[in-house]
Amino acid sequence: MSNRTTFSQRYYFDASYYKPGGPILLYLGGETSGPSRFPLMQTGIIKILMEATNGLGIILENRYYGESFPFNLSTTDNLRFLTTEQTIADNAYFAQHATFPGVTSNISLNAPHSPWILYGGSLAGSQAAFSLKTYGGDGGIIWGGIATSGVTKAVVGYSQWYAPIQELAPQDCVGSINGIVENIDRVFDTGNRTLINKMKGLFDMESLYDVDFARAIAFPIGGPFVYPGCTYQELNWDASVDCPYFWEFCRNVTDLTASANITSVDYALSEATNGEPWINLGNYANYIKTAINPYCRHLPLNHTPHGHDFCFGTQNETYWADVRPWPLKSFLYTSCTEIGFYQAAPESGPSLISKVLNVNYTQQWCRWAFPPGKYNSIPDSPDVDRINKYGGYNVVQKRLAHIDGAADVWRDACYHSTDAPERLTQNAISAYENPQLLIAGAGHCWNSFGLGGLANVSITPQFIQGAQYWIIRIVQKWVAEFHAQGS
């Protein structure tokens, strides 16, 4: 079925620094509302680039997020137009047809008459890359693009999310959690309900299903799909957005001064480990009870999230079947149909989360949330070929820059994955045609944040400062090349 029905897509722009000939800097909103991205245009990388290049900055809200829903209900049929292919087509169409009331210029601001530079981070980073792959290059619609932490290689199960934490987090904390999780799985494997319920009771979570218990105690690290509070991913060099709860979690788990009533819990399940204590189990359980359980303030812990109460139950099919348009459902649909990235325990070796948290745990939500419709049904498993057809680890296009953080939990889905080919820049020509940068020690999209604009780049941490000056040079070079075409 096809038709010519249209919908409104929300966007915001800032022309404060624009001068004719400057680039049009399009920040892709990704999996959230447009206003959620305002800091990037007020103090972050878009503000920096607007000042450095006399550019016009834009935030474009993704279809099915914020106020840009094509339908009033998010049914399986209505969500059929939420695809990466449609999203990147939006970007190209917008570049050709957008209007900017109040902005005067002696040249058209639309592509291809002005140099349009796309910028996106994370999911939007991959969309920036795919937009350039499809609509970029010489003679294309989009002149250039920057993919920051762009997750261009889709996989169904993404246990690699936990790899940087295993390697880089405080090792007494990591070792404690690995050991406790190994013992938790040992108890699950017994099938002894009395022992399992006793174990969950130490966390005051005996009412939860086993899988929901395993997910809830992983929240401080990063539980599958969505979590309350902050995790390792939310750490940031920028104090205005940094959320350091992960360090607080590790300090508590490894607290050498904990009281006897807490440390004695280390022996509560020793019957399952031949009399050996579960080192730091008491600290872990106490942190969960005091810092995580209160997120579910007024309802039983096994209730599904409701309003301001982030409760921990996920096995209510009615909750997932809710067809009201909400961003979490839009993102789940994309996960279920195309990108996967189900956070799951590794098949072998030490693990920070229980092995009961496998891909089937997330896949069940897909079945409940998206029953077959008249015109659309979801695949039994995410069709990651829809994403990987663009190139996976090797999405390349002239004037497409890839910039990633070496400590990012999403690195192994990005251009600089540890599984990707070695990335070396051969000469100055390739440095501008196919720019790439891996920032040592950086996390997710860290180069996108700023301290107020161009003048303050010099006081950011050295590794961020270097990356942002690099981005400025790249964009300035691209803009000069655009105008040199007509000379």
List the catalytic residues: 122, 408
Nearest in space to 249 (alpha carbons), one of 203, 215, 290: 290
Nearest in space to 330 (alpha carbons), one of 4, 20, 84: 84
CB atoms within 10 A of CB 367: 14
- DSSP string covering 319-386, please? HHH--S--HHHHHHHHIIIIIEEE----SSS--SS-TT--HHHHHHHHHHH----SS----SS--THH
Nearest in space to 240 (alpha carbons), one of 43, 28, 439: 43
115 token code pair: 């140099």
Measured in whole angstroms, the distance separating CA 215 from the mean position of its chain's CA atoms is 18
What residue spans of 23-122 are helical by DSSP H?
Answer: 38-42, 45-53, 84-97
Alpha carbon distance 281, 269 (integer Å): 9
Alpha carbon distance 480, 487 (integer Å): 11
Alpha carbon distance 360, 211 (integer Å): 11
Tell me the sheet residues that pair with 58: 13, 26
Whether the Cβ atoms of residue 127 and residue 140 lie closer than 8 Å to each other = no
Alpha carbon distance 352, 163 (integer Å): 9
487 token code pair: 């000379």
Alpha carbon distance 416, 405 (integer Å): 8
Amino acid type, 413 = A
**Strand 56-60 with 11-14, pairing:** antiparallel
Amino acid type, 444 = H
Is the bond preceding 461 in cis, omega lying within 30 degrees of 0? no
